[in-house]
Every structure is written in C-alpha cells, then in structure tokens.
Structure 1
Amino acid sequence: MNLLIILVEVSLVIFIFLLLNWLLGKSIKLLNKVAIFRTEERTVRTLRRNITGILLLACLLVCILIVGVNGFLIYRGENLQQYTLMWIDRIPSGFWQKLSLGIAQSVGTLIAVALVLKFVDYGLKILNIRAKNLEKNTADDESIDAFFRDLNQRISTGMWLWAAISCTQFLSFPAVVGQYLYILLRIYLIIAVGLLILKAVEAIVDSLDALSIRYSSPDNLLRFYDRLRHLIPFLKRCLEFVIYVCMATLVVQQVQLIANIANLGPRIIKIIGIIFISRVLFEVVYLFVEEILFKERNLTDAQRSRRLTLVPLFRSFLQYSIYFTATVSILYTLDIDPTPILAGAGILGIAVGFGAQTLINDIVCGFFILFENYYLVGDYIQAGKSEDKVVEGIVEAIELRTTRIRHPNGQLQIIRNGDIGSITNYSKQYIYAVVEVGVPFDANLADVYKLIEEVGQQLKANDSDVLEATQVDGVESIGESNLLLRTLTKVKPGKHLQIQRVLRKIFTDILIREGITIPTSAEG
C-alpha cells in the first residue's frame, strides 16, 4: 500500500510536468510563426531545450523529495495511508465538492471547445474555397490558403488558452494565476490578430497586384503599373513593420513596468510612413517626368540624346531633395529641432568647400558641358588632357562630377569632368569612315576607283547609316611594294567604326574576286 501511495504522488508530479511541457511546446510553435523569431529558429530551439531541461530537473528533484520524505516516514514507523488520510481529513469537506464540480466543469469546457473547433475548421474550409472562387485567379490561392490556415491555428490556440483560464477559475486557483493568464491571453490575441492582419494584407496586396496586371492597358492609368511594380516588396515590408510595431506597442501596454515605452510606437509608425511616402513620391515624380519628356514620338536623335542626358541629373536632384525633406521630417517626428544641425552642416560645408576645389571644379565643368552642349548621352567621343589619359567610347551618363564612357571593348570608363580636357565628338551631324586600301603598283587605278565607287553606291542603297557613297580621296602613300589608297564614306554620327569594318571586308572580297593581289604590307 505504501508503494502504491508513493507511486500515485510521483505520477501526479509527472503529469504536471507533462502538462507544463505541452504548454511550452504550444508557446514555442506560436513563436515560430512570428517572422522575427523565424530567423532565430536555432535560438528558439535551444531555449526550449533549456527550459525543458530545467522542468525535467525540477520534476526529478520533486520526485526524489517525495520518495525521500515518504521513506523517512516509513523509517519512523508511520503508516503512510493513515498519514495521507490525516492530511486529507484536514481539508474542508466543501473543498472536494468544489473540486469535483470544477473538474466536471473543466472537462465539459474542454469537450465543448473541441467540438466548437471542429465546426470552426469546417466553416473555414468552406470560406477558403469561396474566397478562391471569388476571383478566378489561381495566382492568389497560396496566400489565401496561408491566411485561412493561420486563422484556424490562431482560433484554436486562443480557445484552448481561454479554456485553460476558465479551468483555473473552475478549480479555484489563486486569483493572481487568473490575472497573469488573462494578460497572457491578451498578449496572445494581440500577436495572433496582428499576424492574421499581416497575412490578410499580404493576400490583399497579391490579389490587387494580379488584378492590376490583368486589367492594365495602354488606355488607362494602370499602364504605369508595370514600371512601379518593383515597389510592391517595399510596400509589403513597410506594412509588415507597421503591424509589428503596433503589436509591440499593444503588448508593452499590457505590462505595467514598461508601459511608458509604448509612446514610441506612434512615432516609429510615422517614420515608416515618411520613408514609404518619400520613396513612392520619388518614383512617381520621376516616372511623370520621363512620361512628359518622352511622350512625343517624333523626337530627333539630338532631342532624345539631350533628354536622356537631363533625366539622370534630374533624378539625382530629385532624390537628394526628397530624402533631405524626409530626414528633416523624421527629426521633427523625434522632437529634434533640425535648425542647429542644418546651421552646423552649413558652416561645415563652407569649411570643406575651401578645401574641395577639385570637387567644385568638377561640378562647374559638368555644368559647362551640359550648357554648351559639348556632348550628350549616346555620343561617341574621345577626351582627355594628355595622351596617357585619353578615354574613348559611347557616353552612358553625364553626372555633376563625372562622365561615364563605355569603351568599344566593353569596359566602363569613369572620368572626372575636370579632367575631360580636349574633346573629340564623333556624333555631331556626320562623320567620315576612313578606310585605306593597299593595291599593287601594276594595278589599274581607274578600274580600282570604279570598283570602290560601285561598292560605295551599293552600300549607300542598302545601309541607312551611310549618308553619301564612298569616294576615293586619292593615293595616300607609296610603299615599297604597294600603293595606299584613302577612301572616305560619309556616315551618320558614331557609325564610322561599324561602317569601316563592313567596307574593309567588302573591299577585300571584291579585290580578290577581280584578281587584284592585296599586298601583305598594306595598312588599314
């Protein structure tokens, strides 16, 4: 009998341990659903193992204590059954009635919650199917499924937690236990509702994204949506931060010791709103300016190049202006007066300006390059102050300090505007494609001239980049075994290299076909 009593007491302790471990597992699963803790999954698992180990150690110590105390009583000759009954008799008789009623009410509550959750699960499945059928759009099915799956889990955990609180009342637990459990329930509901709102917002944004793509056309405003669609991930991230801040603010308000920190929540939300509005305003204004500049379809190449040159400059100016305004607004939101900061920055800027002559020189040269139209984006230029610093290629961007030039070999060359020096622009009005052809001394120059001019006429008819047919400029030089003829072909700006390659191939093919030997020492 003594052994049976000890076994019952130990079993009761083990049952309490298993119950606490089950509640711990449910709490950890809830934490894993929060995106903030999802990235720290390994840390959460380690925390659970540590807490489980502490509970297991406490359970083992209590079991050892029970066995030790009961063994001591047996050693003293005490009858464990009578000793236990004596302690039980000291308990008021009404306690057992209340305990029996509380247990019955608790069991009934748990059964009722289980039945209700079955109906909730069935109802949510029906709502899930109807929500997906509301718009025949399978692209949103995954988001809708995730929302209803999380909704089901949140309702289930919330109801079980409410059932646990009800059981503590039925079993007449101390009032402080119910108070803390109610705080835990409110915190859970805040987190659960916040996560559900997050899933709902994600599903709504995905649905609107899919609908905007579906109904966009060149005749409505949605034609701009594709160019602004890259803001969707940024919108999701901002909304996610706002929801998390709201959740944290409401949770902090539940804890009296740190309730004052909740005042920072609205300010953080304002800062997120300022950042989001600044980014959207920048993209929308930039898109509006591009639409105005390139709305005309009949732009000349010069007009298009000039506008392509101005767009990056306007983008930089707009970006700095909007972000500066956003920074000042954020400082005001944090109750920080930006006037002293701006005054100090102005004095610092003047001090730095005296030592930044190179920077000022680059900016001034950049303005003169644009104002006097030395070159534009898309022009093929050669520039540099000295032979060892010469750069050549197509202009990709003109900024206030630097010019970016793409070499024909592919490398990007960045040169300061102050180091541009002399400029050779191959993209103004027209340019000559100069090709030198070597022929032997005994060649009939009249026939060679005629062949070259025929090739030039044919190339002009077939290639729109050729403005005038090829002309022979004459004999450029007399070598040891050949004559070097110089040919000129008037082409569109920047097309000389391409036409030169084409002409060299055509001249080689036609001279070989006519039996004219090309000297090996010929240049060009």
Structure 2
Amino acid sequence: MELLLIMAEVSLVIVVFLLVNWVVGKVFKLFLKDSVIQNEKRSIKTLRRNIKGLLILVCLTLCILIVVANGFLLYRGENLQQYTLLLIRRIPPGFWISLGIGIAQSIGLLILAAIALKFVRYWLKVANIRAKNIEQNTADDQSIDTFFNNLNNIITAGIWLWAVIWCSKFLKVPLVVSEYLYILLRIYLIIAIGLLIPKAVTAIIDSLDALSIRYSSPENLLRFYDHLRHLIPFLKRCLEFVIYVCVATLVIQQVQLIANIAVFGPRIVKIIGIIFISRVLFEVVYLLVEEVLFKDQNLTEIQTSRRRTLVPLIRSFLQYLVYFGATVSILYTLEINPTPLLAGAGIVGIAVGFGAQALINDIVCGFFILFENYYLVGDYIQAGKAEEKFVEGVVEAIELRTTRIRHPNGQLQIIHNGDIGSVTNYSKQYIFAVVEVSVPYNSNLVQVYKVIEEVGEQLKANNPDIIEPTQVDGVESLGEVHLLLRTLTKVKPGKHLQLQRVIRKVFMNALQQEGITIPVRVESAEN
C-alpha cells in the first residue's frame, strides 16, 4: 500500500510536469508560427530546449525528494497513508474550494478563448477575402495573405497569453508570476504589432501611389505627383524608422530598470519628422518655383534660357536655407541652444573667409556673369584664359561657384566662375556657319558662285535654322593646285556646327553634279 502511495505522488508530479510542458510547448509553437520573428527561430528553439531541460530537472528533483521523504518516514515506522491523510486534513477546506473554483474558472476561460479564436479566424478570413476583392487594390494576393496570417498568429498568441495570465490569478499563483506574464504579453504584442505595421503601411502607400497615378490629370493638383513620386522610398524608410523607434520606446517603458531611457524616443521621432518635412518642403518649393517661372507658354527663347539659368541658383539657395532651418530645429529638439553655436560659427566663418579668397572670387564672378548676362543656360560658349586650355560646349548649369559645360563630344566640363576668363558666346542673336570650299584653278568662278548661291537658297527654304541664304565671301587663299573659297551662312545661335556639316555635304554633291572636281577635302574655320 505504501509503494502505491509513493507511486501515486510521483505520478501526480509527472502529470503536473507534462501539463506545464504542454502549455509551454503551445506557447512556443505560437511564437514559431509568427513570421515576423522568423529571424529569431533558432534562438526561440534553443530557449524552448533550455526551459524543457529545466522542467525535467525540477521534476526529477521533486520525484527524488518524494521518494527520499517517504523512505525516511518508513524508516521511522510511520504509516504513510495516515501521515498523508493527516497532512491533507491540515489544509483548510477553503483552499480546496478555491482550488476547485479556480480550476473550473480556468477551464471555462480556456473554452471561451478557444471559441473567441474561432470567431476571430472566421472574421479575419472574411476580411482577407474582401481585401482581395477591392477594385482599387494593387497589392498582390500573397502579400495580403501574409499580412492576415501574421495578424491571426499575433491575436492567437495574445489571447492564449491573456488566458494564461487569468488562469494564474484564478489558481492563486503568486502575484509576481502574473506581473511578469503581463510584462511578457505587453512586450510581445508591442513587438509583433510593431513589426507588422510597416508591411501594412507599405501596402497602403503602394495602393495610394497607384491610385494617384491613375487619377492624375493636367486639370487637378495630382499633376504634380509624378514630380514628387521619387520621395516615396524616402517616406517608407522614415515611417519604418519611426515605427521601430516607437516600438523600442514602448518596450523600454515596460522594464522599470531602463524606463528612463524612453524619454529619447519622442525626440528621435521629432528629428525624423523634421528631416522628412525638410526634404518634402524643399522639393515642393522647388516645384512651385518651376511652375511659376515656366507657367507662361509664350516665352521667347531668351526668356526661357534666363529662367532656366535661375532655377539651379534658386535650388541651391533653397537647399541651404531648408537645411539650415532643419539643423536649428534639430538642435532645439535636442534641447541645445543654437545661438552660441551660430555665433561661434559666424566668427569662424569670418576667419575662414579671409583665407577663402578663391571661394569668394568664384561667387562674385558668378553674380557678375548672371547680372551682366554673359551667357545663359543653353548657350554654346567658349571660355577660358589665354594661358590655359579653352573649354567649349553648351552651358548646362550656372551655379554660385561653378559653371557646367557639356562638350560636343559628350564630356561634362566644370569650370570655376573665377577661372572663366574671356568668353566667346555663339548663341547671341545669330552666328555664321563658315565653310571653305576648294576648287581647281581652271574652274569657272562665276558658275561656282552661282551653284553655291542656288544651293544656299534651297537650304534656307528647307531648314528653319538658317536665317539668310549662303553668300560667297570671296577667295580666301591661293594654293598650289586649288583656290580656297570662303562662304558665310547666317544661322540661329548655337546651330553653326551642325549646319556646317550639312552645308559641306550639300556643296560637295552640287559641285560634283556640275562636273567641278574638288581636289582636296573641304576645310572649315569657325568664328
């Protein structure tokens, strides 16, 4: 009889161990199903094995203690049955009543939790189907399924953890256990939902992006959206950082030991907001400047060039202004008074300014270039100092310090405004396309002149970039076997290089058709 009693006590301990191990296993399975923490799957499995080993160790220790204690009582000649009954009778009857009520309440709560989960899963399935059937939806079905599966796992784990917490209260478990379970529940929900929100935000932003493109038209404000669309990745990153900072702040607040660090969370969120608003403000203002400058469709070519010249300057000025304001706002957010820093920066700036003469020279020359209208964006120029190599090409941008010039061969040349030197502008009012033609000494110059002038008339009629027909300027030089004739064709600014090639080809074909042999290749000189 004593042996059966000992086996019953050991069996009770084992049953309790198996029940606790089953509950712990269920909790960890819920964690492993949640895809938002799949990156920590190995760590969770390791923790599960460690907890299981600890439970086995505790179970074996209790079984050994039960066997040793009962052996000691038998050694003393005690009746184990009577001794056990005596111990049970010493327990107040209210304890058994409370334990029975607690077990009944726990079973009822677990049943209610299971029923609630059935309803939750049903309505999540309905929501999933409706989300897929929305006409304007642009997200793929797989992303929607992933989102609702993650949401289902989060709700399931949260409900079961909440049920375990209330069961511990019903069973009169020490209060510290319930408190730690509450902390665990809050931390889990904060992290799980915090990792789920970016996916939902991304899906919403992508859907709104597609809708904005679909409904944009020249008549509404959405016509500006395409110019601001490149900010979407930046918006996603900022929102992601904000969510992560909020999650970290809320988790830190749950741990009393480090709760004071949480005060930095709102400041970091404000800094991210300032950076994002600054970037958006800069792009919007720049877009409005372009809209105002180029709103008039009847601008002349010169007016268009002047306004295109102003745009990079305004952009640079706005960029520095917005970034300066953002820096001051960030300093105020960090509770740092920027006034002493700005005063110190001013003193340092003055000291540096005396040594930065080249920088000042570039800026001053840049202003003179703009105000005296030496050249504009789109002009074809040649610039440089006599003792240095000249640069030439189309002006792409005029900034405070530098001018960007695109060479006809394609390379981008950047020259400091202070090093511009003398400027030859080929884009003012008109320019001559100069083409030199070689003809034999025995040629009839009257016939040659007539052919060239007739070809010039045809070129003017067929090409709108030619202002006046080609005129023969005369004999440029006398060679050993040929005469060199110089021709002038008045063309629009910046078109001379392209038209010189066209004119050479047309002249060569026309002269060959008239039986006039060209002894050497066509030569050219540019003014």
TM-score by length of 1: 0.86
Q: 1:112 to 1:178 in 2, by over 3 A?
A: same
SS of residue matched to 2:138: helix
Counterparts in 2 of 1:428 and 1:319: CA distance versus 1, 3 Å = same
Shift of 1:368: 0.7
CA drift of 1:420 comes to 0.7
Shift of 1:177: 0.8
Structure 1 vs Structure 2 CA RMSD: 3.4
Aligned sequence identity (%): 65
Deviates more, 1:505-514 or 1:492-501: 505-514
Aligned residue for 2:297, secondary structure, equals: coil
Partner of 1:495: 495
Report SS of the residue matched to 2:223: helix
Structure 1 residue 24 displacement after superposition: 4.1
Which deviations, in whole Å up to 9, do the C-alpha atoms of 1:86-130 show, x marking residues without a partner? Answer: 997646486677666655544443343233222212212223334
* 1:51 has 2:51 as partner: no
Quote the Cα distance in structure 1 between the aligned partners of 2:50 and 2:131: 46
From 14, 22, 27, the counterpart of 1:23: 27
Query: How far is 1:77 from its partner?
Result: 12
Q: Distance in 1 between matches of 2:484 and 2:63?
A: 114
CA distance in 2, matches of 1:485, 1:83: 137
- Could you tell me how far apart the structure 2 residues matched to 1:477 and 1:226 are? 59
- Partner in structure 2 of residue 278 of structure 1: 278
Cα 1:522–1:306 shift into 2, 3 Å: closer
Give the CA deviation at 1:66. Answer: 7.4
Instruction: Report deviation, 1:4.
Output: 8.1
SS at match of 2:375: coil
349-358 vs 257-266, greater mean Cα deviation: 257-266
Whether the 8 Å CA contact 2:504–2:522 is kept in 1: the answer is no
What's the counterpart of residue 184 of structure 2? 184
Q: Distance in 2 between matches of 1:83 and 1:312?
A: 100
Q: Distance in 1 between matches of 2:273 and 2:97?
A: 59
Separation in 1, partners of 2:356, 2:231: 37
Query: Secondary structure of 1:488's match?
Result: strand
Q: Note if contact 1:482-1:522 (Cα within 8 Å) is conserved in structure 2.
A: no
Give the Å deviation of 1:426: 0.8
Residue number in structure 1 paired with 2:337 = 337
Residues 416 and 73 of structure 1: is their aligned pair in 2 closer, same or farther, counting only changes over 3 Å? same
Do 1:147 and 1:203's aligned partners in 2 also have CA atoms closer than 8 Å?
no
Q: Name the CA shift for 1:165/1:293 in 2 (closer, same or farther; >3 Å).
A: same
Counterpart of 1:138 in structure 2 is 137
Q: 1:33 aligns with which of 15, 26, 36?
A: 36
Q: Secondary structure at the match of 1:389?
A: coil
User: In structure 2, do the counterparts of structure 1 residues 153 and 48 end up closer, same or farther at CA, with 3 Å as the change threshold?
Assistant: closer
Instruction: Say whether residues 1:380 and 2:380 are aligned partners.
Output: yes
Q: Distance between the aligned counterparts of 1:88 and 1:372, measured in 2?
A: 110
Partner of 1:326: 326
1:494 Cα deviation after fit: 0.7
Q: What's the CA shift string for 1:400-432, capped at 9, x where partnerless?
A: 111111111111111111111111111111111
2:30–2:156: 8 Å Cα contact kept in structure 1?
A: no
Q: Contact 1:10/1:66 (CA < 8 Å) preserved in 2?
A: no
> In the aligned structure 1, how far is the partner of 2:79 from the partner of 2:376?
102
> Aligned partners of 2:266 and 2:83: how far apart in 1?
57
Q: Which amino acid aligns with 1:508?
A: M
After TM superposition, the structure 1 = structure 2 runs for residues 100-139 of structure 1, keeping only pairs within 5 Å, are: 102-103=102-103, 105-133=105-133, 136-139=135-138
Q: CA deviation at 1:473?
A: 1.4
3-state SS of paired residue (1:378): coil
> 1:152 and 1:57 mapped to 2: Cα distance?
30
Where does the alignment leave 5 or more consecutive residues of structure 2 unmatched? none
Q: Distance in 1 between matches of 2:309 and 2:216?
A: 30
Count of residue pairs the alignment pairs up: 513
Amino acid at match of 1:51: L
Q: Give the distance between the partners of 1:520 and 1:286, measured in 2 at CA.
A: 55
Contact residue 13 and residue 63 of structure 2 kept, 8 A = no
2:448 aligned residue: 448
AA aligned opposite 1:47: S
Q: For residues 260-290 of structure 1, what are the alpha-carbon distances to aligned partners after superposition, in whole Å with 9 as ceiling and x for unaligned?
A: 2222233223222222222222111111111
Aligned partner of 1:439 in structure 2 is: 439
Relative distance call for 1:19 and 1:444 in structure 2 (3 A) is farther
**Given that residues 428 and 493 in structure 1 are in contact (C-alpha distance below 8 angstroms), is that contact kept between their aligned partners in structure 2?**
yes
CA pair 120-392 structure 1, distance change in 2 beyond 3 A: same
Going from structure 1 to structure 2, the CA distance change for 1:22 and 1:124 (only over 3 Å counts) comes to closer
**1:196 shift after superposition:** 5.4
Secondary structure of the structure 1 residue equivalent to 2:489: strand
Q: SS state of the match for residue 423, structure 1?
A: strand
SS of structure 2 residue aligned to 1:121:
helix
| Alpha carbons of structure 1 residues 234 and 468: separation in structure 2 relative to 1, 3 Å | same
Structure 1 residues 299 and 65, CA, compared in 2 at 3 Å: closer, same or farther?
same
Superposed displacement of residue 72, structure 1 = 8.4
